[in-house]
Every structure is written in C-alpha cells, then in structure tokens.
Amino acid sequence: MKLLRLFALLFVPALSFAQFTTVTGTVTDPNGLAYAFGTISAGLVVPSGAGSPTLNGGGYTPPSQPSGLDKAGKFTIRLADNSVLLPASTQWTFLICSAKGTILPAGGNGPVCFTVPALTISGSSQSITSNIAAVPPPALSINPGTGTLSSVSCTVPLACTPNPIVSTGTASCPTCAIGPGSSTANHIAEFAGTDGVTLIDGGVAGTGTLTSVSCTAPLVCTPNPIVTTGSAACATCTTSAASLGSGNVVTGSGGQAMATDSSMTDAAGVMTTSGTSTAACNSISNGWKFGNGGAINTGFTSFGGGAVDFCANGVRAFQSNSSNGIAVESGNMGFFGGKGQHFVTQAANNDSTGTVTVSASTSGSVNFTTSYSNAPNCQLTPQSDPTAIGAYWATSSTSAVTANVHTSGTISFNYHCWGNPN
C-alpha cells in the first residue's frame, strides 16, 4: 500500500506537466525590426456547441492577461495541450501587439496589432515563429532599399554622350531652350563616376511672371512703372523732317527716307546721299541709296563696298571695313508693319540655314562658304522620324556644321547657325 501511494505521488506531477505546452517565438516586422516590449495574448478556440473546456475532468479557464515580449521580440508562455483538452479539436489563436507609441510608416502612434490564425498546440514545447512570420506582421519601419545606378540612357529629344552613360558623360537636349542652372549650354544633366553614375549638375529652367515694366531716358512709360496697361514712348526721338537732327534717319513725305550730314539729290524719287565725315558713328563714310519713290526696291547700294552699321543714335551708312554686313551697336533689330516678313537667303545650304544629310553613317556635314571667326551655335531639326537613329546632336567648327547620330542610318536635318560671336 505504501509503495502504491509513493507511485501515485510521483506520477501526478509528471501527468500535470504533460497537460501543458511551453510555447515560444520571436516577432519581427518584414524589415527585421523587432516588436520590442510588445504583448501576446492567447485565445482558446472551442468548436461551436461543444460546451466548456475541461482538462483531466476538471474545468479549464484559458489565460486572460497578455504576456510581454522582450526587447528582441521574444516570448515564452505555457498553454494547455490541445490533445489533452476536451472537447476535442480545440485550437489556440494569438493576438500580438507592438509596444505603445510605435511610429507607423504613415505616421501616428501605436500599438500595431495582428492575429495569428488558429493553431494546434501540443507536446512539451512548440515554436510558432514561422507561423507568425507567415501572417506577416505589419511593418514598423520603411525599408528604403539599396542599389547603384549603373547606366543612364536617353531618347529623343534628349541626347546622351555616350549613350548609354555608364561612368562619365552628359545628357542634353539639343533642341530645348533652358534657363539658368546648367554649367553647359543646353545640358540638362551631367554625370561622372567610375563606380556607377553620379549626378553632378542639373539645369533649372526657371519660371516667373512679368509684373511690371519701367522706363529710363530717353524712353517714357505712362504710367511708370506699367503694371497692367500703359504705353512706352521716346519723347525726344526724331519722328519727322521738321525735327531732323544731326545723324538721325527719318521718314519724309511719300515714304522717302532722308538723312543729314550729307548732300542730297532727288531724281525721280531716288534720293542719293554721299558724306565725308568718318569720325563719328552717325556720320556717312561712303554713302547709301534708296530706290525709286523712297522704297528700298534694290536694297542698300554701297558706293564704297562697306557695310550698313546701325549705331546708338543713327545710321552709319556703309562704313568701310573688311567684312560686309549689318552691325547693330545697341538696341534691337526687328520687322514692323505686320507678320509676313522673312529672313531671305540667296542660296540653299548657306552659312546660316539649310539641310545636312547623314547617309548610311553616323555623321554628315555641310561646309560653310565663308568661315566664321568662332565656331557658331548650330541647332538641328529632323525632317523625318529619328527613332531608328536614336540620339542626335550638332557639332560645329569655324568651317562646317556636322550632324551626328547614335545609330548609323540615313536621315536629313534642317540646320540653323548663328555666330558665337562671328
């Protein structure tokens, strides 16, 4: 009898231990951030209509208080073994919450909670780390990711040199007009590097609104400044023959042009002048001529082989120099009296505009008839779809303009060149 009692005393603790399972696990978000100092609550799931749970014939009350997670998100709890609990087919679910005050990716305060679906807990110990990770837990942090930009490629209208850029190069827009911010004309970005590509310069086009216009002498704004509606005039400028001053060019009756610092003859509406002074800008050195009736039918005719030089306060007509042309000392040049005027050239493919063709190659050139003093600024406009040839760009020297394409092919471009300066 004593031996039986001793056996019973030894067996009861072992039986009691077998009725419970030690459940462990670690909780981290998808980015590896631990749910430090959060909580885990276990809930017993009993089949519907099966009655209250019992353990070894006695009633069983599941735990009602949450257990804490440590700073690494780990936990250990003891729960009744589902294989011992009655009724049969019971399971455990788990509600896991992050610590209070958790900062979410979207902002705001925690905690963040989620539920692990029903599990069967059995045996002396069981880890549910993989079951937790499969949910998965909501992220407590943002993973910005890592990587290296290995190349930059361009498509029209952008042009990369080279294309693609894998270490050092430039990205530009030959047909774009941009504002301040770029270190090189028309460049929208510059890259440099030996391990990947690094942006070193970006152009900024700039924006803004004209809010007012102010005038200084000899111009007069009414009102000054003009902020909505007004006019700008030159109160002291010569406008008629009656107010003709030295060096000024005006329009007289019948549209005929007249000038001072010269002698005049009028034969059938043709006015010819010839001057003698060459010291001042408003003097006439070699003379000029208007066609019949004062209209410029045949253009300016130079008796001395010089140029028409527009100065600050008049016309220095046909100034003798080594290069014929029109020179503006200050102010602007423009067309007036409508919108049907054109810049007219005398031959195709001249030094200012024309067509340059790339034929089954990566470049094509047009030679200038007269060399520029400095390489001009030249722009290209494709005459057909440039997709097949990829990026394209213009290069120029004092003697030629060249169209370059990334992929060998045949295509024609319109070119326009301006002195820089000439």
HEC assignment per residue over 371-417: CCCCCCEEEEEECCCCHHHCCEEEEECCCEEEEEEEEEEEEEEEEEE
Rounded Cα distance between 191 and 165, Å, is 8
How many Cβ atoms sit within 10 Å of the Cβ of residue 5?
A: 9
| Cβ atoms of residues 264 and 244 within 8 Å | no
| Structure token digits, residue 372 | 């520029």
CA atoms of 337 and 260, how far apart (whole Å): 25
Whether 261 and 284 have beta carbons less than 8 Å apart is answered as yes
Q: What is the pLDDT of residue 200?
A: 54
Q: How many whole angstroms separate alpha carbon 271 and alpha carbon 301?
A: 12
Nearest-angstrom CA–CA distance, 46 and 125 = 21
Greatest extent of the chain over all pairs of C-alpha atoms, in Å: 158
Fold annotation for 19-133: Immunoglobulin-like (2.60.40)
What pLDDT tens digit does each residue of the chain (422 aa) get? 444 444 444 444 444 556 899 999 999 999 899 999 999 999 999 999 888 999 988 999 999 999 999 999 999 999 999 999 999 999 999 999 998 766 555 545 668 899 999 999 999 999 999 999 999 999 887 666 677 778 888 888 888 999 998 888 888 887 775 544 444 555 555 555 555 555 555 544 445 566 777 888 888 888 988 888 888 787 676 544 444 444 444 434 443 334 433 334 444 444 444 443 333 343 333 444 433 333 333 334 433 444 444 444 444 433 334 445 565 555 666 766 677 778 778 788 899 999 999 999 999 999 999 999 899 999 999 999 999 999 999 999 999 999 999 999 999 999 999 887 76
Residue with tokens 């002498």: 217
What is the DSSP track for 190-203? EEE-SSS-EEEEE-
Nearest alpha-carbon partner for 418 in 372, 382, 366, 381: 372
The H-or-E segment that residue 2 falls in is helix 2-18
Backbone angles phi, psi at 360, to 5 degrees: 50, 45
Our separate counts of H helices and E strands in the chain read 2, 27
Position 148 scores a pLDDT of 76
Residue 294 φ then ψ, to 5°: 90, -15
Residue that has been written with the tokens 């990334």 in this structure: 406
Smallest CA-to-CA distance from 261 within 242, 279, 271, 274 is with 274
Tell me the domain boundaries of the chain: 19-133, 159-202, 241-328, 353-418
Instruction: Give the per-residue pLDDT at 221.
Output: 85
Question: Which stretches within 100-252 are classed as H helix?
Answer: 129-133
Location of structure tokens 């989620």? 114
Question: What does the alpha-carbon distance between residue 271 and residue 265 come to, in Å, rounded to a whole number?
Answer: 6
Residue 93's pLDDT is 97
Per the structure block, which two tokens stand in for 74?
């780990």
Token pair, residue 68, equals 């804490």
pTM score, whole prediction: 0.35
